Amino acid sequence: MTRVVAQGTFDILHPGHVHYLRDAARMGDELHVIVARSVNVTHKEPPVVPDEQRREMVASLKPVDEAHLGHPEDIFVPIERLEPDVIALGYDQHHDIEKLRNALSERGIDCDVRRASPLEQEGDESLLSTGQIIARVLDERE
């Protein structure tokens, strides 16, 4: 059985998230998703939705076999515990694949690292990021 791990913030779920998780699920037989804790989100604005609520929402999605909260200090702890065969990165996630592979190797984690495909936008009305959704809400509610 091929175990796949996907990870992300998953703040305000949208079609881009669903596409990523469907794509990740097709990479193996079992999909585990690690939902980043708010304290670990430093590359963009912090999540609006609390950690456990984001984990619960992701867990409810059809492609997901199990959703886990990330470790508060060390992002590799859940990876070590889950022992994935594949780590599926989102199309636009900020991770450098070679640096990630090196860090995994240094920790003795042997798995493939792949990037999910992009979701094609369907016109100008597509909202494929949490930032876009928040901006639209603020614009329309002023």
Tens of pLDDT, residues 13-34: 998 899 999 999 999 999 999 9
Q: How many CB atoms neighbour CB 137 within 10 A?
A: 12
- The residue ranges of every structural domain in the chain are 3-141
What is the pTM for the complete model shown?
0.91
pLDDT class for 94, splitting at 50, 70, 90?
confident
Give the domain 3-141 fold: Rossmann fold (3.40.50)
Q: How many CA atoms lie within 13 A of 123 on its CB side?
A: 1
